[in-house]
A = this chain, B = another copy of it.
């Protein structure tokens, strides 16, 4: 049985990206590599919406988060980490493992911190940095109030570090307008590139701070000071994963053709459809407020009736979705909608849900509504097969 992946990454790659991987190396100290890296950075700046420096690291998202946190934050700094899911917890763990001064602020699971929550924390304690997960895939929530939270932090002199590993290109984000100082993401989620690379975007001010952080990171490999020095020459300090750079470049090029706003919109209409299907079969959203429900991962709480939904989707329909992760102990289903998910996957998923619930007719109608919206969105777009393949 052919498998359909609807997990929260890594994601299926656009055919043009796969093709870009199958070539020989260029030296990571050559002019040709400099051009590839420069082109990647230029496009990533547009995606992060920043005019600052962006670096690419040969490590997955966690490695990128670690490089940013452990180079930037020194022993005197205090960091506020609101905990509203597994990836928040991991950020706090990365900091504490390296002996940094962290305050964990617990938020009810299924919610994001409110502007009031943050205000109160910043009144009660003094912090230099806040670390936030833009899109928390363990619970399916997204910080749609990130802009307001950032502005409050700015007023209080607290710098904002955002992990948008699973948000970038799937959820709206504007580093400069929103006063985000550092934003970390990775290649294999909504960017739809090959797994293995992470990126860190820095505001001008943070770049200047990093310049004074020569010996802060305990790690040589993930030392952002050094990575930044090399990045300015369009190089990496150590041997680069050249092929992944080829793939990332191709992924950003096809994204540019698709247009960032359209990709984000596609995630939204996919997500609304997935939520409508859950609603149809009375699976409750795990996110407690639809305003803060993620468009890149849709999380539902499984009651008795569909307790084995994941197993059935897998065994009967070849659809791979995710379950609970880390600190989340409820029986949940997490449906990823990242990268190049489109009518092909949405139809398969609708059919499966329709058939499992014996609501074929309703699910078909939901899919048809979706397809109309999708077709409208992509009217006149010439590169459908380069992006989605012949599916």
Known: A10-B239, A220-B94, A220-B97. A195 touches B24 (CB 8 A): no
Whether A218 and B62, one on each chain, are in contact in the complex, defined by CB atoms closer than 8 angstroms, is: no
Asked if A181 is at the interface (CB within 8 A of a chain B CB), the reply is no
**For the complex, what is the distance from the CA of A9 to the CA of B222, rounded to whole Å?**
21
Asked if A159 is at the interface (CB within 8 A of a chain B CB), the reply is no
Asked if A11 is at the interface (CB within 8 A of a chain B CB), the reply is yes
Whether B243 and A247, one on each chain, are in contact in the complex, defined by CB atoms closer than 8 angstroms, is: yes
**For the complex, what is the distance from the CA of A18 to the CA of B10, rounded to whole Å?**
21
Asked if A80 is at the interface (CB within 8 A of a chain B CB), the reply is no
Asked if A385 is at the interface (CB within 8 A of a chain B CB), the reply is no
> Which residues of chain B are within 8 angstroms of A217 by Cβ–Cβ distance?
97
**For the complex, what is the distance from the CA of A11 to the CA of B27, rounded to whole Å?**
8
Whether A12 and B28, one on each chain, are in contact in the complex, defined by CB atoms closer than 8 angstroms, is: no
Tell me, rounded to whole Å, the shortest Cβ–Cβ distance linking A248 to chain B: 11
Known: A94-B220, A221-B222, A238-B61. A5 touches B22 (CB 8 A): no
Whether A10 and B25, one on each chain, are in contact in the complex, defined by CB atoms closer than 8 angstroms, is: yes
Known: A18-B22, A25-B194, A25-B195. A220 touches B12 (CB 8 A): no
Asked if A329 is at the interface (CB within 8 A of a chain B CB), the reply is no
Question: Which of B25, B27, B99 is close to A13, meaning CB atoms less than 8 Å apart?
Answer: B25
Question: Which of B21, B30, B239 is close to A22, meaning CB atoms less than 8 Å apart?
Answer: B21
Asked if A7 is at the interface (CB within 8 A of a chain B CB), the reply is yes
Whether B28 and A62, one on each chain, are in contact in the complex, defined by CB atoms closer than 8 angstroms, is: no
> Which residues of chain B are within 8 angstroms of A7 by Cβ–Cβ distance?
27
Question: Which of B60, B218, B243 is close to A194, meaning CB atoms less than 8 Å apart?
Answer: B243
> Which residues of chain B are within 8 angstroms of A132 by Cβ–Cβ distance?
none
Asked if A19 is at the interface (CB within 8 A of a chain B CB), the reply is yes
Which single residue of chain B is at the shortest CB-CB distance from A62? B238
Whether A241 and B244, one on each chain, are in contact in the complex, defined by CB atoms closer than 8 angstroms, is: yes
Asked if A173 is at the interface (CB within 8 A of a chain B CB), the reply is no
> Which residues of chain B are within 8 angstroms of A195 by Cβ–Cβ distance?
25, 28, 239-243
Known: A60-B58, A218-B218, A219-B222. A239 touches B196 (CB 8 A): yes
**For the complex, what is the distance from the CA of A19 to the CA of B23, rounded to whole Å?**
8
Whether A196 and B66, one on each chain, are in contact in the complex, defined by CB atoms closer than 8 angstroms, is: no
Interface residues of A in 1-53 (CB under 8 A from B): 5, 7, 9-13, 18-19, 21-25, 27-28, 30
Question: Which of B13, B62, B243 is close to A221, meaning CB atoms less than 8 Å apart?
Answer: B62
Interface residues of A in 174-223 (CB under 8 A from B): 186, 188, 194-197, 215, 217-222
Asked if A93 is at the interface (CB within 8 A of a chain B CB), the reply is yes
Asked if A328 is at the interface (CB within 8 A of a chain B CB), the reply is no
> Which residues of chain B are within 8 angstroms of A238 by Cβ–Cβ distance?
60-63
**For the complex, what is the distance from the CA of A253 to the CA of B224, rounded to whole Å?**
36
Tell me, rounded to whole Å, the shortest Cβ–Cβ distance linking A104 to chain B: 16
> Which residues of chain B are within 8 angstroms of A22 by Cβ–Cβ distance?
18-19, 21-22
**For the complex, what is the distance from the CA of A94 to the CA of B221, rounded to whole Å?**
9
> Which residues of chain B are within 8 angstroms of A19 by Cβ–Cβ distance?
22
Known: A22-B21, A219-B219, A221-B59. A244 touches B196 (CB 8 A): yes
Q: Can you list 21 A-B contacts with CB-CB less than 8 angstroms, sorted by A residue number?
A: A9-B239, A10-B25, A10-B239, A10-B242, A12-B25, A13-B24, A22-B22, A28-B195, A30-B320, A59-B59, A60-B241, A62-B221, A63-B222, A66-B221, A94-B220, A97-B217, A97-B219, A99-B218, A196-B242, A196-B244, A222-B222
Chain A to chain B: the 8 pairs with minimum beta-carbon distance, closest first: A196-B241, A22-B22, A218-B218, A63-B221, A60-B239, A60-B238, A21-B21, A98-B218
